[in-house]
Amino acid sequence: MENGTSFKEFHILALPNKLDKSAFSVFFFLIYFISVVLNLMLLMVIYSDVHLHTPMYLFLCHLSFVDICYTTTTIPKLLHMLLSGNNTVSFIQCFSQMFFYFWGACIEVNLLLAMAYDRYIAICKPLRYAEILNKRRCVLLMVGIWGIALLNSLFITVSASFTPLCYSPTIKQFYCDFKAVIKLSCPGNFFLFVIFVEMIVFGFCSFACSLASYIKVAKVILAMTSKDGRRKAFSTCSSHIMVLSIFYGTSVLVYMIPPSANLEVLERSCTIFYTAVTPMLNPLLYSLRNKDVKRALMRLFNKCVSYFEYR
């Protein structure tokens, strides 16, 4: 790695020294545990119920799996640093974490776009839903989402690893974030341009396309004459819109906050919500506001009860 300094490791300053690290360790452990349990439960419910084997729930399965993966990329390492007091990570460890985290984040962005397209087809073109989103196209779409995210994450990570560093290798964040690396890099480097293009393509364009889909869906819903039809159509989209709003709302705050010592607390708080709390909220929003998922959950629960009764 061609760095402008001789540093071979980073120091992660996850929390200010004055804060109680034990309390925060418990907080992050609970968030991580609840997130993994809820997402695994949602995966089990969808897998076990044939009524949920549709494109919409295929995307939701991938979303739950990705949420588990990229919280696992950050929180266990954070807990290790808080409990051991060793906040040093090597360059390899840092950029490996950056790669897997960014891979998961890119997949989630594309999945949210795919889910917005799914709702657009289901409500605006219901008679062609099975034809447009058939099994073959869904498989190709998922392969494309994972593949594009993999190549993009690899490109970002390699670009970041060869960025010259001119400042102290102390990352004031709870994981190796590429924005934190930018703050350590020398002025006028190529990586800044790369990040700008990333924000446009995977940030603004993806959000604009998702928003356009939901605007068209809203027009169709408002044009429905049946109140029950409007209520049912809106209920199927409300969870998606809430997840989309939370994800993009917090991520915009994280990556659009200008570098400033006065805004570090706000930036870290938004990052915690964006990377840890949001993956925990996703399965709750989809299960509590979705009657099909709640019915499938009850059927699975009854099967488990019957199984233990007969034993």
83-135 residue pLDDT tens: 888 888 888 888 899 899 989 989 998 999 999 999 899 888 888 888 899 98
Q: Which residues contact 1 (CB under 8 A, 6 or more apart)?
A: 91, 161, 162
Q: What is the pLDDT of residue 258?
A: 62
**φ, ψ for residue 163, nearest 5 deg:** -80, 125
- pLDDT band, residue 143 (cuts 50/70/90): very high
Q: What is the pLDDT of residue 280?
A: 86
11-67 residue pLDDT tens: 887 776 666 678 888 888 999 999 999 999 889 888 888 888 889 888 989 999 999
Calpha distance 47→157 (Å, rounded) = 34
Under 8 Å between Cβ of 171 and 177: yes
Tell me what the mean pLDDT of segment 241-267 comes to.
Answer: 72
Q: What is the pLDDT of residue 189?
A: 62
Calpha distance 185→47 (Å, rounded) = 45
Q: What is the pLDDT of residue 289?
A: 65
Say what the pTM is. Answer: 0.86
